């Protein structure tokens, strides 16, 4: 990638937990002393497990061949490209918490950072540099939808090694950007004045969050993208200021957004996990490594899934389930410090796929209906987001299913073991259904109650970190489901209850 600091953590990031076969660009080489190797392993139990039984010499050799990032992602939660506050020339001017706020100050109890007087909000956008003009995208218009799709398909998020780039489908863009209450003015573009070519975007949709019990109206910001030829020209701050202005004019003074880069200041940070469904394809495209000492056949067997689901009463969610799912989801999500508040309309929009839709399917949702009481006791969902495999002779794309919202009545019992067993059964069924729907990999973050099943269901740690940010809102840090070693930890659950696309 031209500028790899801009990778979004949700990116088509590689799996790291099974690393170790081939030398990578930034390998440690001969600089690793045995003492350093020992201390690295001490700090990275997941890696230590993998190396168990290799013997000292072979372990040192395997470590020497590994990517520094592979080793370090097991160690530090933040850090990726973090600069000191003074270097954030733009962000230090914005109503966001500073890195040096400890979270224990009285001001950190929660609330807006700056009061906005709507009268003082400019009615006009800031001028763009000569040769460019502002645009409002009309996504109901097929031509404009195609323009946004083109921009994102060739210029949006790539992984650090420029092997994969997100490829959101047009149906996905409709789904993500035309949710209940959506506003055309929040689909912001920049065009070249002469050619009218779309060269940058930033979009938002309205929603409501609950942050430590406080309900706040926010804009969910997404699809910040600048044409590769216009990078590093400080266009990002201009785009952010413009969408902020348009939100302020609509009476929305807070926003939520995610990024793989560290900006001032994440409210929470989660880690990506990946469960191979078609291991061989993932290996061939360079996504999943062949762990040291394993074979392809062994990896395929390890990732094999049964052909049938096991939860009694499991069936695709239908329109008639909206009320029951909304009730269950709301109760389930309130258990998290920061969560999304769902109306029935939103549940319908975000979770129900209608078979008569002409567009390709984006979201898959399933409910468990108790065969006797007919009560909906559980539900889960995942969405489809492919990545282009850049310049590969055999494979054009990787089809990824992303774990979306889920909820279960077992969450309300005192006993964590019941919840854990139930989630392991439900999520194993989700994997089976995603495999049947021909997905290659199933991705999940460490948010919700995910630390209860990720490792048990053979998800591998990714090198992607997803940082959550709130604009113009301060609250104490929220746990992201990982511990100080960046590994899933049940004691760090209960923080993030919102999934960003
Ligand atoms: C992310 C992207 C828009 C940044 O553009 P750029 O040309 O590198 O950066 P610009 O010169 O326009 O702006 C730099 C400023 O934007 C900030 N910035 C960079 N990436 C950012 C992000 N993802 N979110 C918010 N701010 C970001 C920088 O920190 C810097 O501000 P600072 O001086 O306060 O540190 C561009 O690299 C891109 O389109 N990448 C591919 C898509 C992508 O990663 N989108 C972001 C998804 S979260």
Evaluate: CB of 5 within 6 angstroms of ligand 1. Answer: no
Q: 223 vs 103, 151, 246, 313, CA distance in Å?
A: 29, 10, 16, 38
> Distance between CA 172 and CA 137 in Å, rounded?
16
At the topology level, CATH places domain 117-259 in Aminopeptidase (3.40.630)
Q: How many CB atoms sit inside 10 A of residue 300's CB?
A: 14
Is 389 in a helix, a strand, or coil?
strand
pTM above 0.85, yes or no: yes
Beta carbon of 227 within 6 Å of any ligand 1 atom: no
The residue to mutate among 4, 236, 467, having the most atoms of ligand 1 within 8 angstroms of its beta carbon, is 236
DSSP strands (E only) in 212-317: 214-226, 254-259, 268-276, 314-316
Q: Is 90 in the pocket of ligand 1 (CB under 6 A)?
A: yes
Q: Which residues pair with 221 in a beta bridge?
A: 204
**3-class SS of residue 404:** strand
Query: CA–CA separation, 90 vs 321, rounded Å?
Result: 46
Q: Which long-range contacts (CB under 8 A, 24 or more apart) does 354-360 make?
A: 354/319, 357/171, 359/170, 359/171, 359/174, 360/169, 360/171
* Atom nearest to 236 CA in ligand 1: 12
Cβ of 67 below 6 Å from ligand 1: no
- Quick one: which atom of ligand 1 is closest to the CA of 235? 12
Q: What pLDDT score was predicted for residue 430?
A: 98
Dihedral pair phi/psi, residue 37, rounded to 5°:
-60, -45
DSSP reduced 3-state for 141: coil
Res 43: pLDDT: 47
How far, in Å, from the CA of 471 to the mean position of ligand 1? 16
166 token code pair: 């997100």
Please list the ranges in the chain whose pLDDT falls under 50: 1-11, 18-31, 43, 45-46, 49-50, 67-78, 106
| CA 237 – ligand 1 centroid, Å | 8
Which residue minimizes the CA distance to atom 20 of ligand 1?
Answer: 6
Centroid of ligand 1 to alpha carbon of 8 (angstroms): 10
- Please tell me the residue having the least CA distance from ligand 1 atom 32: 88
Q: Which tokens hold the place of 51?
A: 């190396």
What is residue 41's predicted lDDT score, i.e. its pLDDT?
56
Cβ–ligand 1 contact at 259 (below 6 Å): yes
How confident is the model at residue 20, as a pLDDT?
Answer: 26
Phi, psi values for residue 482, rounded to 5°: -120, 155
pLDDT of residue 355: 74
Out of 41, 139, 351, 501, the active site residue is: 501
Residue of 151, 224, 243 best suited for mutating to test ligand 1, as the one with most atoms within 8 Å of CB = 224
CB atoms within 10 A of CB 358: 6
* Calpha distance 63→464 (Å, rounded): 20
How far apart are the CA of 195 and the centre of ligand 1, in A?
A: 24
Topology (CATH level 3) of domain 268-465+476-497: Aminopeptidase (3.40.630)
If you count DSSP H runs as helices and E runs as strands, how many of each does the chain have, helices first? 12, 15
- CA geometry: angle at 27 spanning 25 and 32, to 5°? 165
Q: State in Å: Cα 236 to ligand 1 middle.
A: 5
What are 348's two structure tokens?
Answer: 């319908």
- Closest to 290 (Cα-Cα) out of 300, 398, 456: 300
Q: Where are the domains of the chain?
A: 46-77, 117-259, 268-465+476-497
Spatial separation of the C-alpha atoms in residues 230 and 28, rounded to whole Å: 34
Residue in this structure with the two tokens 């062994």, named with its chain if needed = 298
CB of 66 shorter than 6 A to ligand 1? no
Tokens 């990545």 map to which residue? Answer: 387
117-259 shares its CATH topology with 268-465+476-497: yes
Catalytic, 501? Answer yes
What is the pairing mode between strands 460-471 and 268-276?
antiparallel
């Amino acid at each position: 990638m031209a500028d790899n600091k801009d990778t979004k953590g949700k990116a088509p990031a590689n799996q790291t937990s099974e690393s170790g076969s081939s030398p990578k660009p930034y390998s440690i080489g001969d600089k690793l002393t045995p003492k350093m190797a020992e201390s690295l392993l001490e700090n990275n139990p997941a890696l230590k497990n993998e190396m168990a039984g290799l013997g000292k010499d072979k372990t040192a050799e395997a470590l020497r061949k590994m990517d520094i990032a592979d080793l370090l992602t097991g160690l530090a939660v933040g850090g990726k490209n973090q600069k000191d506050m003074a270097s954030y020339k733009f962000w230090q001017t914005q109503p966001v918490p500073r890195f040096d706020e400890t979270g224990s100050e009285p001001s950190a109890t929660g609330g807006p950072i700056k009061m906005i007087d709507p009268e003082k909000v400019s009615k006009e956008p800031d001028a763009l540099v000569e040769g460019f003009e502002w645009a409002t995208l009309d996504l109901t218009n097929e031509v404009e939808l195609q323009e946004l799709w083109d921009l994102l398909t060739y210029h949006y998020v790539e992984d650090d090694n420029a092997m994969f780039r997100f490829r959101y489908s047009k149906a996905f863009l409709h789904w993500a950007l035309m949710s209940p209450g959506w506003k055309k003015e929040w689909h912001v573009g920049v065009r070249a004045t002469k050619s009218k070519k779309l060269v940058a975007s930033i979009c938002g949709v309205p929603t409501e969050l609950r942050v430590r019990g406080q309900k706040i109206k926010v804009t969910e910001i997404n699809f910040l993208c600048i044409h590769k030829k216009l990078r590093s020209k400080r266009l990002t701050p201009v785009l952010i200021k413009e969408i902020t202005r348009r939100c302020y004019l609509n009476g929305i003074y807070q926003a939520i957004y995610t990024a793989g880069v560290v900006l001032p200041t994440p409210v929470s940070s989660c880690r990506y996990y990946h469960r191979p469904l078609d291991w061989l394809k993932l290996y061939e495209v360079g996504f999943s490594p062949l762990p040291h000492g394993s074979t392809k056949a062994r990896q395929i067997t390890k990732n094999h899934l049964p052909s049938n689901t096991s939860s009694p009463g499991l069936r695709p969610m239908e329109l008639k389930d909206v009320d029951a799912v909304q009730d269950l989801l709301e109760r389930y999500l309130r258990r998290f410090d920061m969560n999304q508040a769902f109306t029935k309309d939103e549940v319908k929009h975000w979770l129900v796929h209608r078979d008569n839709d002409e567009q390709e399917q984006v979201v898959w949702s399933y409910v468990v209906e108790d065969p006797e009481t007919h009560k909906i006791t559980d539900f889960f969902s995942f969405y489809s987001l492919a990545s282009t495999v850049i310049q590969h002779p055999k494979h054009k794309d990787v089809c990824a299913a992303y774990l979306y919202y889920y909820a279960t009545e077992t969450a309300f019992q005192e006993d964590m073991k019941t919840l854990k067993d139930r989630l392991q059964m439900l999520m194993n069924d989700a994997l089976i259904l995603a495999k049947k729907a021909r997905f290659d990999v199933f991705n999940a973050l460490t948010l919700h109650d995910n630390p209860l099943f990720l490792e048990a269901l053979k998800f591998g740690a990714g090198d992607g970190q997803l940082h959550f940010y709130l604009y113009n809102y301060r609250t104490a840090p929220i746990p992201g489901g990982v511990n100080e070693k960046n590994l899933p930890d049940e004691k760090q659950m209960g923080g993030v209850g919102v999934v960003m696309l």
